[in-house]
């Protein structure tokens, strides 16, 4: 649990020597509490302080790597309290008796969805053994070769798990099915081949006993998989674990959750996956590859795991819409994603090619950024000059959003040689504006 400034101060030397850059130990403690300083800046911090503050600064839900992605590291129960940190990873399950394995693996690899400038993909492939060992190992090899994703390995036996873990060495995959009976063997495999381990039990008590045992033994790359028998039970188990970890600092339950959706009915399975995304799932394994289902789930995930404190924004730069040349029209708007996509979409719809200048506006909309002084004439002119865009075009007309018509004079003054045209207020009117003003 996070410590207050006063609690932290009690752990500091209280000599007010100022070597950390703060005037007093209390001031430094307040910075530590606000996570604006690091304890290493105090050369006199005791071992006890380092131990206590180090543990207190760990997130209540342990961070675990799966491939290149991370899960866990969550600090709040509800998104509006701060933000959720890592989105639920979506994996697709394949078993070794399934038809068209190569096609499915290639489809998983190639599936891409673009939303507000982000490219979303399937994060992992889950491999379930139904047939004999040879067919399972063939599946593991194919998945590694074709899908290019970390694996969620669900083998029938510990010996099959061992071979699969070895084949997937270095991919930071997940080995499933650790129970009290095989804990030691699977842990050894994960340590040797660099994988995380999913411990499984029917209830919270069973999971707690297992994770405590692993942590005491020095292995902490864990996920928890509840053997929940219904959607209600899955929801309850995930919620209890997250609540206990965050509100009561119960470390044995502070691990990301893994769940296989076994229901092959599209609607039922989607409801279960939605529940995982909304309620604390770390990895959600879908029973099959279905692009329609993935669109809905990935879009939901993007919304749930977007930081509410940071507007979604695109990179500030000059964007080419279509195939513009040196004489193409030039538009300017802000880097708030919604604004960018609306404006660029309307320009595209008009059928012309154009340049769209997007200065840094901290992701704010046109009027908000103007009110905050981030979308002024001098700001836009400075961006155009510093980007070198002036030298790339012969056009000397720039269209500004109608809502900020008042900056036209300032922009003309700051950008000598340019004529400022005031465009429409609403992006929906851009196409008509282009046809009536720019291409008439
Ligand atoms: Fe206090 Fe350490 Fe800062 Fe000195 S360096 S003022 S002892 S916190």
The per-residue DSSP string of 161-183 comes to HHHHHHHTTTS--EEEEE-TTTH
In a mutational test of the pocket of ligand 1, which residue from 6, 26, 44 has the highest number of ligand atoms less than 8 Å from its CB? 44
Separation of CA 166 and ligand 1 centre (Å): 49
Q: Quote the mean pLDDT of the chain.
A: 93
DSSP letter assigned to residue 436: I
Q: pLDDT, tens digit, for every residue of 112-122?
A: 998 877 889 99
Is residue 1 pLDDT above 80, yes or no? no
Q: pLDDT, tens digit, for every residue of 56-71?
A: 667 889 999 999 999 9
Mean pLDDT of 191-213: 94
* Any ligand 1 atom below 6 A from CB of 28: yes
Contact 165, 175 (CB under 8 A): yes
Mean pLDDT of 359-363: 93
Cβ within 8 Å of residue 123, ≥6 positions away: 66, 67, 69, 89, 90, 91, 149, 150, 283
Separation of CA 430 and ligand 1 centre (Å): 59
Q: What percentage of the chain exceeds 70 in pLDDT?
A: 99
* Any ligand 1 atom below 6 A from CB of 21: no
Report which listed range, 51-60, 115-124, 367-376, is most confident. 367-376
Q: pLDDT, tens digit, for every residue of 71-89?
A: 999 989 999 888 899 999 9
Tokens encoding 213: 């045992």
* Any ligand 1 atom below 6 A from CB of 53: no
pLDDT given for residue 324 in this prediction? 96
* Any ligand 1 atom below 6 A from CB of 16: yes
Tokens encoding 307: 């930081």
Q: 4: pLDDT confidence band, cut at 50, 70 and 90?
A: confident
Separation of CA 17 and ligand 1 centre (Å): 5
Return the closest-CA partner of residue 172 out of 146, 149, 156: 149
Is residue 398 pLDDT above 70, yes or no? yes
* Any ligand 1 atom below 6 A from CB of 23: no
- Sorted by where each begins, the domain ranges of the chain are 5-56, 64-304, 317-438
pTM for the predicted model, two decimal places:
0.77
* Any ligand 1 atom below 6 A from CB of 20: yes
Of the options 3.40.50.2000, 3.40.50.11600, 3.40.50.300, 3.40.190.10, the CATH number for the domain spanning 317-438: 3.40.50.11600
Separation of CA 14 and ligand 1 centre (Å): 7
pLDDT given for residue 352 in this prediction? 94
The per-residue DSSP string of 168-230 comes to TTTS--EEEEE-TTTHHHHHHHHHHHT-EEEEEESSHHHHHHHHHHHHHTT---EEEEE--SS
Is residue 48 pLDDT above 80, yes or no? yes
DSSP letter assigned to residue 314: P
In a mutational test of the pocket of ligand 1, which residue from 5, 20, 24, 40 has the highest number of ligand atoms less than 8 Å from its CB? 20
pLDDT given for residue 213 in this prediction? 92
Q: 99: pLDDT confidence band, cut at 50, 70 and 90?
A: very high
Q: Ligand 1: which residue has its CA nearest to atom 2?
A: 42
Reported as type and span, the H/E element at residue 411 is helix 408-414
pLDDT given for residue 440 in this prediction? 63
| Residue carrying structure tokens 């977007």 | 306
Range 5-56 classified under CATH 1.10.15.40: yes
Q: pLDDT, tens digit, for every residue of 227-244?
A: 988 999 999 999 999 999
Topology (CATH level 3) of domain 64-304: TIM Barrel (3.20.20)
Q: Where does residue 388 rank: exposed (0-12), middle (13-18), buried (19+ CB within 10 A)?
A: exposed
* Helix, strand, or coil (residue 15): coil
Residues forming beta bridges with residue 345, ordered by sequence position:
none
Separation of CA 58 and ligand 1 centre (Å): 22
């Amino acid at each position: 649990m996070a410590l207050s400034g006063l609690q932290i101060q009690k752990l500091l030397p209280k000599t007010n020597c100022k070597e950390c850059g703060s005037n007093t130990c209390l001031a430094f403690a307040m910075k530590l509490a606000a996570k604006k300083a690091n304890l290493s800046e105090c050369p006199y911090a005791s071992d006890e302080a380092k131990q206590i503050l180090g543990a207190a600064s760990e997130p209540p839900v342990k961070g675990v790597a799966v491939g290149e992605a991370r899960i866990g590291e969550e600090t709040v129960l509800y998104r509006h309290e701060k933000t959720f940190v890592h989105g639920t990873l979506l994996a697709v399950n394949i078993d070794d008796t399934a038809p068209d394995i190569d096609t499915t693996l290639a489809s998983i690899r190639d599936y891409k969805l673009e939303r507000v400038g982000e490219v979303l993909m399937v994060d992992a492939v889950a491999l379930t053994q139904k047939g004999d060992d040879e067919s399972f190992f063939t599946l593991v090899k194919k998945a590694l070769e074709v899908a290019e994703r970390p694996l969620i390995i669900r083998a029938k036996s510990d010996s099959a798990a061992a071979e699969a873990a070895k084949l997937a060495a270095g991919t930071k995959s997940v080995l499933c099915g650790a129970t009290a009976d095989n804990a030691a063997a699977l842990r050894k495999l994960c340590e040797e081949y660099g994988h995380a381990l999913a411990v499984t039990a029917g209830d919270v008590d069973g999971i707690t006993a297992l994770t405590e045992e692993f942590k005491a033994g020095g292995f902490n790359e864990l996920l928890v998989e509840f053997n929940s028998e219904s959607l209600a039970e899955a929801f309850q188990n995930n919620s209890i674990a997250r609540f206990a970890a965050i509100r009561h600092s119960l470390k044995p339950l502070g691990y990301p959750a893994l769940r296989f959706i076994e229901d092959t009915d599209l609607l039922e399975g989607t409801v279960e996956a939605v529940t995982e995304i909304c309620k604390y799932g770390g990895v959600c394994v879908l029973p099959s590859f279905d692009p329609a289902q993935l669109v809905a789930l990935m879009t939901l995930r993007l919304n749930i795991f977007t930081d509410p404190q940071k507007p979604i924004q695109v990179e500030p730069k000059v964007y080419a819409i279509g195939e513009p040349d040196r004489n193409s029209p030039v538009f300017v708007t802000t880097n708030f994603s919604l604004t960018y996509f609306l404006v660029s979409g309307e320009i595209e719809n008009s059928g012309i090619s154009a340049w769209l200048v997007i200065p840094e506006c901290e992701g704010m909309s046109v009027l908000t950024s103007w009110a905050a002084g981030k979308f002024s004439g001098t700001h836009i002119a400075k961006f155009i000059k510093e980007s070198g865009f002036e030298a790339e075009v012969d056009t000397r007309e720039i269209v500004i959003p109608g809502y900020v018509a008042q900056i036209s004079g300032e922009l003309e003054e700051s950008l000598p040689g340019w004529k400022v045209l005031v465009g429409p207020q609403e992006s929906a009117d851009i196409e008509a504006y282009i046809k009536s003003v720019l291409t008439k």
